[in-house]
Amino acid sequence: MSKVCDICGKGPMAGNTIVRHGLAKYKGGIGLHTTGITKRRFMPNIQRVRAKTSEGGACRMKVCASCIKQGKVVKV
């Protein structure tokens, strides 16, 4: 199943997970140091809903939760 919203087009976004080690300066250490950076993906909250079409029928759509909350989709 694709992770793209049928209404707003929101899809997966890329980011990083940053691992820091060390004692903070205010605690008497030499500061935090980055020891590892790993790529990660932020996935949208995609739901499969039955929505009303413009002709009055119903069809299944993949819609993100933010579009459902904003009322861009009328559920059947």
CATH number reported for the structural domain that contains residue 21 in this entry: 2.30.170
In a domain, 6, yes or no: no
Number of domains in the chain: 1
Q: How much is the pLDDT for 64?
A: 97
- Record the pTM: 0.75
| Mean pLDDT for the stretch of residues 27-42 | 97
Burial class of residue 72 in the structure, from the number of CB atoms within 10 Å of its CB (0-12 exposed, 13-18 middle, 19+ buried) = middle
In a domain, 76, yes or no: no
In a domain, 64, yes or no: yes
Q: How much is the pLDDT for 1?
A: 64
In a domain, 62, yes or no: yes
Length of the chain (residues): 76
In a domain, 50, yes or no: yes
Is the pLDDT score of 31 beyond 80?
yes
Q: How much is the pLDDT for 7?
A: 95
CA-closest candidate to residue 39, choices 16, 11, 7: 16
| Mean pLDDT for the stretch of residues 16-39 | 97
Domain interval for residue 54: 13-70
State the average pLDDT for the chain: 95
